Structures are given as C-alpha cells and as structure tokens.
Amino acid sequence: AQSVSQHNHHVILSEAASLELGCNYSYGGTVNLFWYVQYPGQHLQLLLKYFSGDPLVKGIKGFEAEFIKSKFSFNLRKPSVQWSDTAEYFCAVNPRPNTGTASKLTFGTGTRLQVTL
Amino acid sequence: GAGVSQSPSNKVTEKGKDVELRCDPISGHTALYWYRQSLGQGLEFLIYFQGNSAPDKSGLPSDRFSAERTGGSVSTLTIQRTQQEDSAVYLCASSFFAGGSSYEQYFGPGTRLTVT
C-alpha cells in the first residue's frame, strides 16, 4: 500500500518569504502526484498535478513542484508567498494501475501554512 | 462550469440514527469517490465508483457504511446506527476516466456530520 509523508505540520512565514513544503511517498510502482490546497472555510482545490513528462510542474497562483523519482519526493515551492496563501496544503498520490481502473488518492497529513504581514 | 455538489452541507444527528449523504459529480465524470476528513485521521478514502459499480470499497470502516450510485451520476453514502466516532466531514470527488486512465479528482464542499 502507498503512503505519503509531509514533514512540516505547521509553517509560519512572513510575506515575500520563499516556501518549500516537503512531500515523500512510498510506493513500488508508478504514481500520479498532486498538491491540493484548502483555504479557510473552503473545499479542497487542486493546486497542481504530475502525471508524466517534465518533472517540474507549474500550478496556479505561482506554485510549482518538482518530482524527483530517485528520492520519491514531490516538494511544493513558491518563490514569494502572499498573505492570501494562508491555507492547509495536502500532498496526495495515486497509483497508475495497469488494470484500467481508476484509483484512490492517498493523502499526507497536511501542512498548515500561516503567512504573516 | 458546475463543480461537485454535496448535500446537506451540515447534518447533526443523534447517536443511533441513520443518515444519508448525497453527492452530485461533475457532469461527464464517470469515476466518483468518497473520502472523510477528521482531526484525528486526516483524509481517508472510503469507496470509489466507476459507473455504477464499486471496484474498491476497502476504506469503508464498518458494515454500517454503505454507498450506491445510480445512473452513473448521483451517489448516496448511508451510515446506519451512527456513532460519535462517525463525526467528520464527508467529501465526495469525481474524475474523468477514459482510455484506461483516470484523471485528477475534483472535490465537493463536503458534508459536516456531527453525531451527538
């Protein structure tokens, strides 16, 4: 079974600081990788995704993530955070099965980002 | 376009009562998923539908939980004889599925269930 680790549980940054949130997964096969964001009082929204190809993927609102296969990592980055980035961020994976069926997402425990003015 | 919708948004019920939670996926999405989000357990998978069949029910915590999907669209998650530990936010997601591959999942706003 796959698992996802997010090492930072709570991160506090000042506006304009750079952000990097760690995500590591454990799975023996090929996976799809995602970052979701949950703003206060809102539902989960897709921030970015990786299926194949260029391991550096760009998402909405200036976020990007890099898939490093050898490290089983998919870290989220943003060069300069804004107060409006205050939210909870979830890394998620699902296996890419050969059986022609879809598959469930396995989530990390989430990282709460607080951006101060 | 319209996203995933769920109803009710909030449900308070007494321990021992049955509840039904509804999910309307994005039109054209053949895959539908139920998850729950709670403080102690994070985001957990419950069940997944492809069309009207459920190839993966591995996350249902007990036989008090069941789900169905009709017409390849709306899904209902039923919890019988609710317990306090069932209190959580129940999330529904849907995704496009074609050519043997699934795509990213889009989540609804959730139903917050409180069992008193």
What average pLDDT does the segment A22-32 reach?
A: 91
CB-closest option in A44, A45, A104 to B56 = A104
Domain B5-109, CATH number (from 1.10.760.10, 2.60.40.420, 1.10.1740.110, 2.60.40.10): 2.60.40.10
Could you tell me what percent of chain B has a pLDDT over 90? 78
Residues near A34 by beta carbon (within 8 Å), at least 6 away in sequence: A46, A47, A48, A49, A50, A91, A92, A93, A94, A105, B104
Q: Residues of A63-98 as b/e, b for ≥16 C-beta within 10 angstroms?
A: bbbbbeeeebbbbbebeebeeebbbbbbbbbbbeee
**Which chain B residues are closer than 8 Å to A104 by Cβ?**
33, 45, 48, 56, 59
Please give the C-alpha separations between residue A71 and each of A22, A54, A61, B23, B85, in angstroms, as whole numbers: 11, 16, 26, 37, 37
- Which pLDDT value is given to residue B103? 80
Superfamily of domain A3-116: Immunoglobulins (2.60.40.10)
| Residue A49: pLDDT over 80 | yes
pLDDT (tens digit per residue) in B51-108: 899 988 999 999 999 999 998 899 999 999 999 999 999 999 999 877 666 689 999 9
For chain A, give every domain's residue range: 3-116
Burial class (CB in 10 A: 0-12, 13-18, 19+), B27: exposed
Report the alpha-carbon distance of residue B79 to residue B89 in Å, rounded: 13
Q: Which of residues 40-59 of A touch B (CB under 8 A)?
A: 42-46, 49
For chain B, give every domain's residue range: 5-109
Q: Inter-chain contact B106–A49, Cβ cutoff 8 Å?
A: no
- Which pLDDT value is given to residue B102? 67
Q: What is the mean pLDDT of chain A?
A: 92
Cβ–Cβ contact B1 with A under 8 A: no
**Which chain B residues are closer than 8 Å to A100 by Cβ?**
100
What average pLDDT does the segment A18-30 reach?
A: 93
What average pLDDT does the segment A3-32 reach?
A: 94
- Which pLDDT value is given to residue B96? 86
